[in-house]
Every structure is written in C-alpha cells, then in structure tokens.
C-alpha cells in the first residue's frame, strides 16, 4: 500500500458537457490531469488510477457554467455518489472512501482491472476535479453474503451491497465480499471467502452477514453452527458482527401477501432461515437487521404488479435477484438500520 499522499486532479473540458478547467499536475506517480480520464459515450468520464490495493479517499468537485446532475460509480458497478444536482455556475465538493482490492468484485469472479476505476456520469455530468488520497487507517464495513448482496459484474443484476456505498461519506469504505451462489457452508469452506475477510478485519469494523438463499439443504443445527462460527471469528478479530435476514423472494400467495415458504426463505428441509437468524441474534447478543421483514413490507406495499420493478421479473423471469431499483431501495433500508442502530456513526452518512 502507498504510504505517501498521492494527489491527482483531473480537469475536464468536454465540449460544454463537463466544466472547463486547466489541466493540473500531480505530486505523485500517477501523472497529470486528464491522463487518467477519457470521455465516455454517455458524455461522462472514465478514470483509471494505478494504485495498490487498499482504502482511498476520493474528492470530486462538481459543477460548471451550466446546470448539471452528476453521479459517480466505480470498480465493479459500485454506486459511490448518488446523482448530485448543481446550478449554473455552482461548484460543490463531495468525498467518499473506496475499498480497492484484487479481485475487485466477487471474490470468486473475474479479477477485473488493477487499481481504481471511476466513472463520472449522471443525467448531465459536470466535474472540474478528482482527487485521490490513500486512507490506510479508514475503517471498512464488510459484507458477507450471496448474489443478492454482491457486486454484480453486469446488469440488469444488481446486489444491494453494490448500492450501499452511495449512502456513506468519506471515512468508511464498503468492502463487499459477497459472492454468488454461496451458503454458510461454502463461505466457510473456501479460503477465498471468509478467510480473506477475517484476515482483513480490524477492531471496530462492522461485518454484515446475510447468508440463506443457497442453504437449500442445510439442516437447522448446521445452519446455526455455521452462523455462530462466523460471528465468533469476527469477534475474535475485534470486529462487530451484524446478522442480516435475507431479502424476500417476490412470490405472492393468493391473498396478496408473501406469507409462504418460498417467499420467506424456508428451505427444502423446512428450516425457516429468518426465524433461525432472529433467534440466534438474540442468543448471541448480536445486532440484527431484519431485512426479510423490511423487504416483505415493501414488496407487499407495492403489490404483485408494481413490485416486479424491484426484481428481474420482466427481464429474466427472476423473482429472487434485484434490479437496480430494487437493490437501490433495499440498500436504503440497510443504511437506515445501520444509522438507527448506531452500527455506523451518524456523521458518516450522507
């Protein structure tokens, strides 16, 4: 990891789309200005910074001579900054912290490109500078989960963990180690998964654990034992484990509710995953985010037709995996719980 501060200022002049500013020199090995950013077809910028794995603070200055609406994403489709509106002639500064690792997305997925990749987009992108600074001491919010949580490599699939960083300010990075197809059994068995998370945990780091969808034939005793092992190993490193019940499947009963085993994650052996997680959280004294209850309420509120937009029902006939909209709404539910329960300090939220 780099130990000395690296400053990069990327100035943009994209034919009136991005605000004009003179190119600036960097004081580190990353070169100068727009050497790291190129225009995209969507009238934004794609930027690459050749940095080592670690945590980095990113500060962007948004705005221009004309009104703008700018968002920033990075690495494997992570939402890092929600679309920010600026008036004509207005300049605003926004900062966030990014976890850079290899592989950059799913732990057992494609490696991706080394370093830090950012995409400046939105309805009307306006940016005058991008500043990257190593933040080796920044805490990380670790995510342990499955395909409903992970950094999905390609749309329309989107995990709620992919959208969570946009809720946080500079000072904490989301380290999403969720991986498609994983259960409590496989997450413990594969050294690329929990072993890697465990080695990176530092005292005080929250670790959110949502594993259930793929424990289809895991008996209750094994399921509880595996979750207990995850909690105890997080605590042994000084981390703060948080148990999260799984997002519901969009599977309606005749009465218009999700009151059935398919929707509420009761597996093939009759194991009620959310109930097991709730009971275990109480037994172990672990914070609980009841995402099953929260997502059930939201899906039932929208009803059988409107709730299709939260999932990939229309695109893939998939009522388990979420769309960008669904992942965005579910990430907001998680963020609200993290904030309300003080799992992440108030000042780190947007």
Question: Got the DSSP string for 10-74?
Answer: -----TTSS------B-SSTT-BGGGGEEE-TTSSEEEEE---SEEEEEEEEEEBSS-EEEEEEE
Q: Are 310 and 250 in contact (CB under 8 A)?
A: yes
Residue of higher predicted confidence among 10 and 76: 76
For 189-220, write each residue's pLDDT tens digit: 999 999 999 999 999 999 999 999 999 999 99
* pLDDT for 27 beyond 60: no
Per the structure block, which two tokens stand in for 151?
């950094």
Q: Are 48 and 75 in contact (CB under 8 A)?
A: no
* pLDDT for 14 beyond 70: no
pLDDT for residue 10:
37
Q: Are 126 and 295 in contact (CB under 8 A)?
A: no
Mean pLDDT of 64-75: 96
Q: Are 275 and 243 in contact (CB under 8 A)?
A: no
- Write out the E strands in 267-343: 288-289, 311-312, 318-322
H-run or E-run covering 130? strand 127-134
For 219-267, write each residue's pLDDT tens digit: 999 999 999 999 999 999 999 999 999 999 999 999 999 999 999 999 9
pLDDT for residue 25:
30
Q: Which long-range contacts does 18-21 make (Cβ < 8 Å, 24+ apart)?
A: 18/43, 18/44, 18/45, 18/64, 18/120, 18/125, 18/126, 18/127, 18/128, 19/63, 19/64, 19/65, 19/68, 19/126, 19/127, 19/128, 20/64, 20/65, 21/128, 21/129
Mean pLDDT of 43-49: 90
CA 73 and chain centroid, separation: 11
Per the structure block, which two tokens stand in for 312?
């990939």
Per the structure block, which two tokens stand in for 123?
């309805």
- Integer angstrom CA distances of residue 109 from 24, 190, 244, 285, 312: 36, 13, 23, 34, 21
Mean pLDDT of 111-136: 93
**What is the per-residue burial (b if ≥16 Cβ within 10 Å, else e) of 180-200?**
bebbbbbbbeeeebbeebbeb
Give the whole-angstrom CA distance, residue 50 versus residue 135. Answer: 15
Considering the chain, what is the average pLDDT of its residues?
90
Report the predicted TM-score, pTM, of the whole model to 2 decimal places: 0.91
pLDDT for residue 16:
33
pLDDT for residue 34:
53
- How many CB atoms within 10 Å of residue 205? 19
pLDDT for residue 6:
36
């Amino acid at each position: 990891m780099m130990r000395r501060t690296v400053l990069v200022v990327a100035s943009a002049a994209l034919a009136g789309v991005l605000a004009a500013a003179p190119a600036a020199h960097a004081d580190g090995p990353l070169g100068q200005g727009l050497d790291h950013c190129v225009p995209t077809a969507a009238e934004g910028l794609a930027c690459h910074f050749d940095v080592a794995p670690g945590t980095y603070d990113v500060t962007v200055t948004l705005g221009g001579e004309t009104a703008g609406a700018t968002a920033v994403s990075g690495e494997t489709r992570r939402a890092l900054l929600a679309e920010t509106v600026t008036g004509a002639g207005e300049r605003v500064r926004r900062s966030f912290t990014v976890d850079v690792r290899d592989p950059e997305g799913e732990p057992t997925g494609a490696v991706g490109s080394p370093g830090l990749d950012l995409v400046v987009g939105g309805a009307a992108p306006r940016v005058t500078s991008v500043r990257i600074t190593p933040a080796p001491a920044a805490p990380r919010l670790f995510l342990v989960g499955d395909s409903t949580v992970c950094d999905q490599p390609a749309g329309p699939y989107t995990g709620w963990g992919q959208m969570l960083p946009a809720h946080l300010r500079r000072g904490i990075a989301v380290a999403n180690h969720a991986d498609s197809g994983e259960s409590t059994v496989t997450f413990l068995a594969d050294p690329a998964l929990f072993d890697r998370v465990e080695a990176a945990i530092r005292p005080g780091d929250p670790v959110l654990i949502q594993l259930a969808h793929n424990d289809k034939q895991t008996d209750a005793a094994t399921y509880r034992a595996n979750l207990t092992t995850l909690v105890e190993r997080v605590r042994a490193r000084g981390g703060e484990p948080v148990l999260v019940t799984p997002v519901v499947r969009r599977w309606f009963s005749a009465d218009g509710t999700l009151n059935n085993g398919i929707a509420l994650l009761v597996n093939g052996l009759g194991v009620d995953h959310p109930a097991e997680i709730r009971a275990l959280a109480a037994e172990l004294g672990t914070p609980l985010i009841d995402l099953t209850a929260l997502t059930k309420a939201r899906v039932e509120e929208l009803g059988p037709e409107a709730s299709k937009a939260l999932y990939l029902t229309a695109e893939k006939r998939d009522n388990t995996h979420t769309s960008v909209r669904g992942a965005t709404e579910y990430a907001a539910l998680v963020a609200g719980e993290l904030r309300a329960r003080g799992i992440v300090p108030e000042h780190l939220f947007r």
